[in-house]
Chain A
Amino acid sequence: MNDLDKFIKDAVNGDVRAFEQIYKASASFVYNVAWSMLRNEHDAQEATQEVFMKVYKELKNFRFASSFKTWVYRITVNHVLNVRKSQSRYKNHEVMVEDENVIDHISDHKEQNKEDEQEMIMKMLDILDPQQKMCMVLRHLEGLSYQQVAEVTRMNLNTVRTHLKRSRELLIKKFPRKEVIEHEM
């Protein structure tokens, strides 16, 4: 029995410290996926709590059939996409991100601090629809392979590939390299 199996068993029996170890192993994934997709601190924190309360509640039904991480990641993706649906303010998010300067800021590393740069990257991703964005976040921020993204989102492998392709086409179109624009002009 490995550590994780033991933590799961102990947590099912009500050991909060064992559940803390489980939490620590995937909290960064859950919180960062929630934060990137929901784009505000309060919703991200709340989503993270809800995901782990679900994990805690369902832990006794977890049958080790799928890997534990995949199971937690699936709960996360599912929950975050549902919250996102209920966030009405995102309905017109594309209008919000018409900021022409976004990519100039990203290219111009010297003139900004790290935090601004991070925010600019997030603003870039805001132009994508939720499914596309989820694939991009899982691939780039969490480093998941196509196979893993497919498992976690329950999408077909080719659907994942298509989402990534469309996302990148859109991003290049919207935020082309500065020199290219100057060249074309």
Chain B
Amino acid sequence: MKCEDMRNLLLTDYLDGELDAERRFQVEVHLKSCYQCKDFFAEVKTQIKNPLDNYEVKKVPDSIWLNIKERIEEQQARAFNISEKINSWLWGWKPALTLALTLIIFVGVFFINNVKISSKAIDKTDTTVYLVDNEEDVAGFGTNIENYFL
């Protein structure tokens, strides 16, 4: 192997332990017989490999996790607030929903009753709509529906 090819290996795969046993052996044989390559490799080791391999990685500051934790918990709280809002919105409409349900039941009851009555003859003046309060509203509504169906 030429010195130039050898140096490529010395700078990369041989230095990094990426060679298989056979090629490693070839390099070592060359290093024993070639002073220049041996010297070159010694320099690469002392100037680059050793200082870098001995570099001590830094300890991670505790504050980083605390910040991440805080951000995650904020996100979770925000997500929780959104579902809370949907919930409270639904609950806020509870009286209205109850009223609507009540109306439907009233309408249903009146409808059934009126169908029974209408099977006999019925006076058209009964269709007067009262808007004074809920119950009369429902009654009027009921008779309107009845008219519609009749």
Main DSSP-derived SS at the A contact region: helix
B137 interface residue (CB < 8 Å to A): no
Cβ-defined contact, B18 with A45, below 8 A: no
Expressed in whole angstroms, the Cα–Cα distance for A57 and B69 within the complex equals 13
The yes or no answer to B11 lying at the interface (CB within 8 A) is yes
Size band of the A side of the interface? 35 or more
Interface flags, A152-169, vs B, CB<8A=1, else 0: 000000000100110011
What 0/1 pattern do residues 13 to 37 of B give for CB contact below 8 A with A? 1011010000000000000000000
A63 at the binding interface (Cβ < 8 Å) = no
> Chain A 101-128, CB within 8 Å of chain B: the 1/0 string?
0010011000000100110010011000
Nearest residue (CB) in B for A145 is B18
The distance from the CB of A177 to the nearest CB of chain B, in whole angstroms, is 5
A35 CB contacts on chain B under 8 angstroms: 58
Let me know if B46 and A48 touch, CB within 8 A. no
B122 lies within 8 A of chain A by Cβ: no
Number of interface residues of B (CB under 8 A): 32
**A175 close to B (CB within 8 Å):** yes
| Chain B contacts with A in 42-100, Cβ cutoff 8 A | 43-44, 46-49, 51-53, 55-58, 60-61, 63-65, 67-69, 71-73, 76
Residue of A nearest to B67 (CB): A49
A32 part of interface (Cβ distance < 8 Å):
yes
Alpha-carbon distance between A132 and B53 when the two chains are bound, in angstroms: 17
Asked if A79 CB lies within 8 Å of chain B CBs, one says no
Q: A176 to B47, Cβ gap below 8 A?
A: yes
Q: Which residues of B contact A124 (CB under 8 A)?
A: 51
Q: When the two chains form the complex, which single residue of A28, A45, A118 contacts B55, counting CB atoms closer than 8 Å? A: A118
B69 and A172 within 8 A (CB): no
Q: Select one of B44, B64, B68, B72 contacting A172, CB under 8 A.
A: B44
Contact between A23 and B73 (Cβ–Cβ < 8 Å)? no
If A45-B67, A146-B16 are given as contacts, then 7 extra A-B residue pairs at C-beta distance below 8 Å, sorted by A number, are: A16-B73, A27-B60, A45-B63, A161-B12, A165-B8, A168-B44, A177-B46
Q: Which 3 A-B pairs have the closest CB atoms?
A: A140-B52, A32-B57, A31-B60
30 pairs of residues in contact across A and B, judged by CB atoms under 8 Å: A16-B76, A19-B72, A27-B60, A28-B60, A31-B60, A31-B64, A45-B61, A45-B63, A48-B60, A49-B64, A53-B72, A56-B68, A106-B51, A107-B47, A114-B56, A118-B55, A118-B56, A121-B52, A124-B51, A139-B16, A141-B52, A141-B57, A145-B16, A165-B12, A168-B48, A169-B11, A172-B43, A172-B47, A176-B43, A177-B46
